[in-house]
Chain A
């Protein structure tokens, strides 16, 4: 998969590039809006990571231009302003996701991965990771044939983690998808919920499925 990183801050561009390359993406980088438009025209990218605050033509303008010329490449917006209205404005202008700065690198990588898989999501009503199953129609979770009781929130958390199985999920991403929070409430809500969920799905079973990646987020997968 080929990613275009548009970021004028060289150091940020550099570590984003390294992180994405380490995850197996091919990464091109450019540092202003006009170069980004030119690059997107000559090369078909799978994902574009686009900073809003760029010298000259800003990120939102690049985004509008791309959408105007019917370029539907998934776009993840980055912004240091982190305004709610900016997020809404970006998504309305055709962005696929939005991440305020400073972000966690793992969070960024997770979101880029999620955008890469877009459309290819598991559509089956029964989600399965190892011997853990979640029926999204009956909302029943089972592991090793035993029924697992879940609260509504735990269910949403498990469903989200299972749909992103094998991919790292950052805290902000979980807050956004499971709690519908568009701000960081500064609590350890996610960690405490994950701990509870772990007690229910992992405590009495082997192998452990729900893993913590310190300083980054959580990961649900069969092999650690």
Chain B
């Protein structure tokens, strides 16, 4: 029960109670007067007149009181509804926008102030985390550059035994993987801080999809995976060409990586409800229902055994999700129990 309803009920109860007491009091008073008056004829008339008074004046008074109470509580609690509405809109990214406060100095105004102070502190913490990630990834790049460079320099030594060479090459591979992770982290940290500039222009999504289809076929070839393009409507979206290509390649690469030998990948582009809809489905082990909600989380690998065999950076889907949301689109994944894992990306069409 909301506070407003409860208050109204209490108010109505109090009103009724007081009316009852007044009615009872009046009745006793009249009764007493009657006894003192030694049964005078017009006494009956007085009683009926009193009850008439109660009905004709009392009831409208009760109704008016109820209405007034309802209006009062509603008015008193209006700031709560406003506050609730404003708080629902609070999001990790708009912490800097304070909730509007009336300046009347009442309890709700005070509450809003306290809440705004809390938002400011939260914003500060979020910024610190973002800055930390950004600085950390920058700081990591210098030693990584040195490590990669020195390992490569060591590899130039002609006198290395094959075993030593193999060890260095394996180290270099891991260093390159580390470099990719740091690159991914830098990109996401910058995206979080709103520091990535996207170059928006009209992009023929169908061309990008066709290009991506050709690349996917090549990627799938060594594992004998069949790639098919089921429809590719001519559609234009407003977007950053490079990032959209990165998105498509990323999804195609996943569809091939998390597949099975002789499996299938099916992609398509069509228009639905005024949006461009790109789908890519693949055979393979799929994603369990428990893992699905967290699949876009950074470094989340799920229950899949690929974590050891796959050399991805663990940030691909997080980056994909960022690219889609930066284009005001949506991305979703459906998997088990269906035999196919399907990724659906919807992007607004260019007008």
Contacts and interface: CB of A to CB of B under 8 A. Distances in A.
A15 interface: yes
A187 B142 contact: no
A22 B175 CA distance: 23
Interface string B215-259: 100110110000000000000000000100110011001000000
Interface string B159-180: 0000000000100110110011
Contact of A84 (B182, B197, B215): B197
B186 A82 contact: yes
Given A153-B214, A186-B313, A105 B152 contact: yes
B221 A196 contact: yes
A206 interface: no
A189 interface: yes
Given A186-B313, A196-B221, A15 B150 contact: yes
A66 interface: no
B148 A105 contact: yes
A181 B152 contact: no
A19 interface: yes
A206 B245 CA distance: 37
Contact of B242 (A19, A84, A214): A84
Interface residues of B, number: 43
A81 interface: yes
A151 B217 CA distance: 12
A120 interface: no
Contacts of A102: 141, 144-145, 147-149, 175, 179, 182
Interface string A105-148: 11000000000000000000000000000000000000000000
A19 B150 CA distance: 10
Given A103-B148, A187-B253, A85 B197 contact: yes
B316 interface: yes
Contacts of B146: 9, 11-12, 15
B92 to A, nearest CB: 23
A143 B214 CA distance: 25
B219 A192 contact: yes
Contacts of A16: 149
A18 B173 CA distance: 22
A185 interface: yes
A100 B141 CA distance: 10
